[in-house]
Amino acid sequence: MYSFGDPRHVLNGEIWLPTPLLPATSIGDRLGINLWLKREDCTPIGSFKIRGALVAMSSMKDQVQSTGVIVASAGNYGLAIAVAGQRYNVKVTVVLPKTANPSKIDRILLSGAELIQYGEDFDEAKDYARIRSENLEIPYWEDGVIEEMALGSSTIADEILLHSASWDYVLVPVGNGSLIKGISSVFKERSPNTIIVGLVSDAAPSMGYAFQNKPWDESQAPSTIGDGLSVRVPIMNMIHHLQNTVDEIWMVQESLLLPAVRALIELEQMMVEPSAAVTVAAMVERQTTLKGKTVAAILTGAHLNSLLLRRTINIDSLL
């Protein structure tokens, strides 16, 4: 699919690609939406991040073979870089906040990466990783800054458009922004009438406020259960890019995330993490806007920890 000169060519031949793009008729019929779910929970690490991580590690492995790299993550990005490092024999150090998902911690350790837990949220972990990088002279790869992460994410848009060019909306969960940057860049070039919408939780609103040029309190720690949405300090270069390629960012009620997880389990037999289920929560909130439309929603990850799973079982479905 991709030429040898394209950094994305490293994904050619991956047997798990393309990930499934499946009609969600049970949820779609209830909402009056022609709904399709892009199953990025079906990658080898249960997250879309592996696409960009493989592109990044393949492109820059020679530069970091002797030093290794250090990254900070809420979980999925660190896991992706760790697994990519294992493939290309590059040492990876992952800094996670103390609140990180235990299943992601276990997977990172299995990859052979060094794992450090520091701070109460993702941005505190980032600050520590930067300092460690400078002190030890180890390259720091920041998600949202490393261009290869967005390049990897752009292959998701290629796969969606290969299925059909007739999409009214694409709904994309937003963390640091690499996912929606990659997807929106492709759609704006090849399907400019498709409306690209980013989704954040109202318990972690900084990316939404920054996109809308509204003030926000950087000292206010996110309180979302969606760790992939948990951003306190946006990367402003990313925000400026998204303002040129993304149509809207919707803030979704945090209280709807677990009921949306339950809806996906009950109605579509899919178990995903809250950061992915934000798409369903958004569709319920914006049902009037989306009714009658053809919608692709990105399910970003599969890591639902056991505590949240127990809570999910004891609540009502969103639909």
Domain with 116 in it: what CATH number? Answer: 3.40.50.1100
Whether residues 274 and 202 fall in one domain: yes
pLDDT, residue 180, reads 98
d(CA 254, CA 204): 9
Answer whether 85's CB lies under 8 Å from 92's CB.
Answer: yes
Nearest of 141, 177, 133, 182 to residue 161 by alpha carbon = 182
Question: Counting every residue, how long is the chain?
Answer: 319
Tokens of 135: 């002190």
Whether residues 172 and 87 fall in one domain: no
Residue 1 lies in a domain: no
pLDDT, residue 177, reads 97
pLDDT, residue 238, reads 97
Is the bond into 205 cis (omega within 30 degrees of 0)?
Answer: no
Answer whether 207's CB lies under 8 Å from 222's CB.
Answer: no
CA atoms within 13 A on the CB side of 258: 15
Residue 318 lies in a domain: no
Whether residues 165 and 115 fall in one domain: no
What's at 306, amino acid-wise? Answer: S
Return the H-helix or E-strand segment holding 261. Answer: helix 257-268
Mean pLDDT value of segment 20-47? 97
Residue 78 lies in a domain: yes
pLDDT, residue 306, reads 84
From 136, 155, 182, the end of a domain falls on 136
d(CA 74, CA 154): 21
Tokens of 104: 């992601």
Per-residue pLDDT at 304 exceeds 90: no
Return the H-helix or E-strand segment holding 102. Answer: helix 102-110
pLDDT tens by residue, 46-96: 999 999 999 999 999 999 999 999 999 988 999 999 999 999 999 999 999
Whether residues 219 and 191 fall in one domain: yes
pLDDT, residue 99, reads 85
Better pLDDT: 151 or 103: 151
pLDDT, residue 305, reads 83
221: pLDDT confidence band, cut at 50, 70 and 90?
confident
pLDDT, residue 313, reads 85
Mean pLDDT value of segment 271-300? 98
Domain residue limits at 193: 7-46+146-313
41: pLDDT confidence band, cut at 50, 70 and 90?
very high
d(CA 153, CA 178): 7
Whether residues 222 and 293 fall in one domain: yes
Structural domain count, the chain = 2
Answer whether 103's CB lies under 8 Å from 303's CB.
Answer: yes
